[in-house]
Amino acid sequence: MGSNRNINTGGGNYNERIQGDYFQGNYYAAGQPQSLAEAAAEIQLLLKQLEQTYPTTTPLQKEIIAAEAIKRIKTKPLLKERIINAVKEGGLAAFEKAIDNPAGAFIVNYIKGWHEVEEN
């Protein structure tokens, strides 16, 4: 007789497959990469929306878009908190790579400042 059991541990999941007297389990933190990807996807969407209004040819124009994105993120405290948590879990470099946008480096610099304030 076999059965499967999934237990949410808060920071991830523990999956256990029971077969007879043998227990097999795997630990993994399923929520962490997903939160990084979700936060990055929200920023990507915001940047695409802004690119419809603002030009993106020069570095200064990209910085202006990034500043506008940051302004909008600041008006959404839950989004800002999710971004900070995603950076804590996955790191700034992974977050910048996940954003995958030329304005992303400017946004990551702002987020780095938020992250440092949170740590202190």
User: How many domains, in total, are found in the chain?
Assistant: 1
Note whether residue 62 is domain-resident.
Answer: yes
Q: Could you tell me if residue 43 is inside a domain?
A: yes
Q: Report the C-alpha gap between 89 and 36 in whole angstroms.
A: 8
pLDDT tens, residue by residue, 23-81? 444 444 444 455 888 889 999 999 999 999 998 889 899 899 999 999 999 999 888 88
- Contact of 40 with 48, CB cutoff 8 Å: no
Q: Indicate the range of 14-18, 42-46, 112-116 predicted with least confidence.
A: 14-18
84 lies in which domain range? 32-119
Residue 93 lies in a domain: yes
- Cα–Cα distance, 23 to 43 (Å, whole number): 42
Residue 8 has pLDDT above 60, yes or no: no
- CA 28 to CA 120: how far, in whole Å? 29
Please give the DSSP secondary-structure letter assigned to residue 71. Answer: H
Global pTM?
A: 0.65
Say what the pLDDT of residue 105 is. Answer: 84
